[in-house]
Amino acid sequence: MALIKICGLSREEDITAVNEAKPDYCGFIINFPKSHRNVTVEKVRQLRTGLRPEIIPVGVIVDQPVEKAAMLLNEGVVDVLQLHGQEDETYIRRLRKLLKCREEAFTDGDMVKDETGYGDTRQNAEIKDCIWKAFKIRSRKDLESAMTSSADAVILDNGYGTGETFDWSILEDVGVMMQEKKVFLAGGLTPDNIEEAIQRMDVWGIDISSGVETDKKKDRSKILAAVQAVRRAGGNKQ
C-alpha cells in the first residue's frame, strides 16, 4: 500500500487534523523563513508532543549546516530528515557519519567508530531509513540523478513546494528504476488526483502540502480526503 505524508504543519489545529486522518508521516518545514509554513525547532518539539505516536515526524530543511541537521535526528526532534536544498552526496555522507541512529541499525558485531564518534567504516553497515532527498524533475536526466542518490528515499517534485504538477509521463518511461528506490511523488497533488497518480506510477508514497490547504492554511477536510484517497488507491508498497 502506498504511504502518505502531510507536509507543512505549523499549528495545533494541524496536529489535531492529522491525528484524526492518520497519515503515515507528517512534515515540518524547519528554520526556512521564506516559507509561510516555517516553524522553529522549539515549535516542532511542542507540536510533536501532541502527535499520535504512529505518525512519523519528518523535518524538512533547506541547506542547513550538516551539524544542525544531525542534531534534529540525534536529539529526537524528528525521526526523518528531508533535504530540500542543494545538499549533495558529500553532504549526505557527512550527515550519515554524524547520526546516532547508525548505532541502532547494526544487527551484529561491534561498531567501528570514526573521528566523528558515530561513523562506521564497514561498507555493508545497515542504516536506518532516516535521510530523504527532494529533486526537481524537469527531464529524464533529472530523474536518473534522483534514482542514483544515496538517500534512503527520494521526493520527485516540480519545484520544491510550488504546488505545480510536473510531467508524470517522464516517470512512466523508467518504471524499473523506480521499483528499486523508495519514491515519493510531490507537486500539484490534491485529493482529487492522488488515486490517479498512484495507479499510474505505483510510487512508494505521496507527499502533499498545498493540495490540502485553503487560504494557505491546512484544511482538515482536505487532509482527511487525501489520506482516504491514498488508502483507496492501495498500491504495491508496504
Residue 216: what pLDDT? 95
Q: Please, which pLDDT band fits residue 143 given cuts at 50, 70 and 90?
A: confident
Angle subtended at Cα 127 by Cα 122 and Cα 133, rounded to the nearest 5 degrees? 120
Considering the segment(s) 3-233 as one domain, its CATH architecture is Alpha-Beta Barrel (3.20)
Least confidently predicted of 131-140, 178-187, 215-224 = 178-187
Instruction: Say which residue, 162 or 65, is predicted with more confidence.
Output: 65
Q: Which tens digit of pLDDT belongs to each residue from 52-75?
A: 999 999 999 999 999 999 999 999
Structural domain boundaries of the chain?
3-233
Q: Please, which pLDDT band fits residue 165 given cuts at 50, 70 and 90?
A: low
Residue 58: what pLDDT? 98
Question: Average of pLDDT values for 3-29?
Answer: 98
Q: Please, which pLDDT band fits residue 127 given cuts at 50, 70 and 90?
A: very low
Q: What is the pTM of this model?
A: 0.85
Instruction: Say which residue, 49 or 107, is predicted with more confidence.
Output: 49
Say whether pLDDT at 106 is over 70. Answer: no
